[in-house]
């Protein structure tokens, strides 16, 4: 009897496991990606399609790409990412949605902003705070973080290593937070996979409801298999972005800086499989009407592919905030050259915020055409970036200026009264 129960339990457990692995998910995917999907799974069917402009808005006058809604098995996601990366030189190229209803809503373009949202002034008026902090940012610290993160066998969203890497980041950020009462580190659990996102919050003093988000993704991927033993160092993609952000956290907290707006640093889980971690978080924040006044994404900061230093991606991002970033660079990093480029698809977590109607930006290490050829392979190592983090330091500098200039604004009424 006992033995029978045990067998039944084991059968049930393995069925439950199998069911989870084959869980159907709704994705939106561009025409080219859809053709790749049909090669992997000829039975995959477009349930709905719509012509979208390159920034996810509805296309007018035929410009843009046909975007399809398809239901596929969760276990097909890594294969799909790989096929798109290999054959289209894209990463991602599709977005996983929480339900059919949400997938259909996404096809209609980005959601409307919150009613309460007002565009920030984007004034650059905190030189006295920013300037002494910039030289404290050290590329040696960024290098150390990239080293630690890329030493995990892989950081897949499904593996023990991927879970360990999330826990390691939480531990590092907790150490940096120390015992400040206005700083908290939490891990955001996702129902469908074990890897958690990590969130460090510095609570704003006078304007805490307005929130500034700085993020990067903590997972990695590789074309050839997603098992525990598979090697996916992801040194540039995206240990570099997490390392650039960690150095900003270190310097801000070491200086005792207290923002007026709330600052949130987020290491997203599961970016490489359809922006899943960030899309859950952005959706949750929108549901809870969190007033995110700006989101900055650092995904890949340590490979310089062009003469210019920082490329602002103009699609799936907010033009006013991009102009603010260009002004920040001009003011604080005058020797850096800023370029502009496009992904042509929702290529990183900024697109999750953009989809919810929040202003998002994506400063990137290279142009689209000269992007790092080693990502999503076992060759994405620190050695491939020359065992240095000088390029990634520029992104810490820009992100720190962004955090302080946007983080230092009090409530809007007060801002007006001061004019």
Specify whether 365 is catalytic.
Answer: no
Verify binding: residue 91, Zn ion, rule CB under 5 A: yes
Neighbouring-strand partners of residue 333: none
Q: Which of 139, 210, 237, 309 binds Zn ion (CB under 5 A)?
A: 237
Return the SS3 of 175.
helix
Q: Residue 299 catalytic?
A: yes
Nearest to 28 by CA among 87, 103, 88: 103
Q: Does 348 bind ligand IPO (CB under 6 A)?
A: yes
To ligand IPO, the closest distance from the beta carbon of 316 in angstroms equals: 11
DSSP state letter for 75 = G
158 binds ligand IPO (CB under 6 A): no
Known active-site residue 376: yes
8 Å CB contact between 394 and 309: yes
Q: Is the CB of residue 247 less than 8 Å from the CB of residue 309?
A: no
Number of residues engaging Zn ion in binding (CB under 5 A) = 2
Radius of gyration for the alpha carbons in the chain, expressed in angstroms and rounded: 21
Cα gap 316→202, rounded to integer Å = 27
Query: Closest CB to ligand IPO belongs to which residue?
Result: 91
- For the chain, the maximum distance between any two Cα atoms, rounded to a whole number of angstroms, is 80
One of 139, 238, 271, 349 is an active-site residue; which one? Answer: 271
Stretch that binds ligand IPO, among 30-38, 115-123, 166-174, 341-349 (CB under 6 A): 341-349
The two three-digit tokens of residue 33, written as one number? 């990606």
Of these residues, 219, 272, 309, 405, which one is catalytic?
272
Question: Minimal distance in Å, beta carbon 91 to ligand IPO?
Answer: 2
Region near Zn ion per CB under 5 A, out of 83-91, 205-213, 335-343, 407-415: 83-91
Euclidean distance between CA atoms 275 and 95, whole angstroms? 6
Residue 255 CB contacts under 8 Å (≥ 6 apart), including other chains: 133, 136
Spatial CA neighbour of 44 closest among 5, 12, 73: 73
Does 210 participate in catalysis according to the annotation?
no
- β-sheet bridge partners, residue 294: 212
Tell me how far, at minimum, the Cβ of 296 lies from ligand IPO, in Å: 14
Give the number of other CB atoms < 10 A from CB of residue 228.
12
271 belongs to the catalytic site: yes
Instruction: Give the integer Cα–Cα distance in Å for 187 and 199.
Output: 6
Looking at the Cβ atoms of 93 and 259, the one nearer to ligand IPO is 93
349 binds, among Zn ion, ligand IPO, none (CB under 5 to 8 A by kind): none
* 371 interacts with ligand IPO by CB under 6 A: yes
Query: Is residue 347 close enough to count as binding ligand IPO by CB under 6 A?
Result: yes
Q: Which of residues 248-287 bind ligand IPO (CB under 6 A)?
A: 271-272
Q: How far is the CB of 228 from ligand IPO (least distance, A)?
A: 21
Q: How far apart are CA 5 and CA 154, in angstroms?
A: 37
Catalytically annotated residue among 74, 236, 237, 409? 237
Helix residue spans in 89-181 (DSSP H): 100-107, 127-133, 139-150, 160-177
Q: Is the dihedral of CA 188, 279, 234, 323 positive or negative?
A: negative
Q: Name which of ligand IPO, Zn ion, none residue 220 binds, using a CB cut-off of 5 to 8 Å depending on partner kind.
A: none
User: What single-letter DSSP state applies at residue 121?
Assistant: -
For residue 29, state whether it binds ligand IPO (rule: CB under 6 A).
Answer: no
Return the residue matching tokens 């709905």. 48
Which residue from 343, 355, 398, 401 is in contact with ligand IPO, where contact means CB under 6 A? 343
> Which residue, among 10, 140, 55, 36, has the nearest Cα to 317 in the 3D structure?
55
Among 65, 238, 380, 409, interactor with ligand IPO by CB under 6 A: 238
- Comparing C-alpha atoms, which of 185, 167, 302 is closest to residue 253? 185
Distance (Å, whole) CA 62 – CA 30: 15
222 sits near Zn ion (criterion: CB under 5 A)? no
Given Zn ion, ligand IPO, none, residue 240, with its beta carbon under 5 to 8 Å by kind, binds none
Q: Which of these segments, 15-23, 100-108, 207-215, 343-351, binds ligand IPO (CB under 6 A)?
A: 343-351
Q: Which does 347 bind (CB under 5 to 8 A by kind): ligand IPO, Zn ion, none?
A: ligand IPO
Binding of Zn ion at residue 219 (CB under 5 A)? no
Interface segment toward ligand IPO; rule CB under 6 A; list 141-149, 155-163, 316-324, 342-350: 342-350
- The verdict on 237 binding ligand IPO (CB under 6 A) reads yes
Let me know: does 393 contact 401? Beta carbons within 8 Å: no
Annotated catalytic residues are 217, 237, 271-272, 299, 376
- List residues near ligand IPO by CB under 6 A: 91-92, 237-238, 271-272, 299-300, 343, 347-348, 364, 368, 371
- List residues near Zn ion by CB under 5 A: 91, 237
């Amino acid at each position: 009897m006992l033995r029978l129960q045990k067998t039944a339990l084991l059968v049930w457990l393995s069925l439950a496991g199998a069911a989870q692995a084959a869980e159907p998910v709704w994705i939106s995917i561009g025409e080219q990606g859809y053709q790749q999907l049909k090669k992997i799974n000829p039975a995959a069917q477009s349930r709905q399609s719509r012509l979208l402009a390159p920034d996810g808005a509805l296309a007018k006058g035929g410009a843009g790409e046909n975007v399809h809604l398809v239901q596929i098995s969760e276990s097909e996601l890594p294969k799909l990412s790989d096929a798109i990366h290999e054959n289209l030189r894209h990463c991602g190229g599709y977005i996983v949605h929480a339900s059919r209803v949400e997938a259909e809503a996404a096809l209609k373009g980005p959601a409307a902003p919150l009613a309460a949202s007002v565009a920030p002034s984007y004034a650059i008026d905190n030189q006295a705070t920013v300037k002494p902090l910039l030289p404290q940012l050290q590329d040696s610290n960024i290098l150390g973080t990239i080293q630690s993160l890329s030493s995990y066998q892989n950081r897949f969203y499904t593996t023990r290593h991927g879970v360990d890497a999330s826990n390691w980041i939480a531990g590092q950020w907790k150490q940096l937070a120390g015992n400040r009462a206005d700083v908290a580190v939490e891990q955001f659990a996702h129902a469908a996979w074990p890897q958690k996102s990590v969130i460090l919050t510095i609570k704003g003093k006078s304007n805490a409801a307005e929130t500034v988000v700085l993020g990067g993704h903590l997972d990695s991927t590789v074309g050839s298999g997603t098992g525990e033993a598979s090697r996916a160092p992801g040194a540039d993609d995206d240990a570099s972005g997490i390392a650039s952000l960690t150095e900003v956290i270190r310097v801000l907290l070491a200086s005792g800086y207290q923002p007026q707006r709330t600052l949130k640093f987020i290491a997203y889980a599961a970016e490489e499989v359809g922006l899943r971690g960030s899309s859950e978080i952005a959706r949750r924040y929108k549901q809870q009407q969190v007033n995110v006044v700006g989101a900055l994404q650092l995904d890949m900061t340590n490979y310089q592919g062009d003469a210019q230093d920082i490329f602002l991606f103009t699609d799936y991002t907010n033009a006013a905030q991009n102009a603010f970033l260009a002004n920040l660079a001009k003011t604080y990093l005058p020797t850096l050259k800023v370029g502009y480029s496009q992904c042509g698809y929702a290529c990183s977590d900024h697109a999750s915020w953009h989809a919810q109607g929040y202003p998002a930006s994506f400063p990137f290490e290279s142009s689209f055409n000269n992007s790092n050829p080693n990502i999503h392979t076992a060759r994405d190592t620190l050695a491939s970036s020359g065992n240095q983090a000088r390029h990634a330091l520029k992104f810490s500098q820009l992100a720190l200026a962004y955090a302080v200039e946007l983080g230092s604004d009090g409530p809007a009424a007060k801002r007006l009264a001061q004019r």
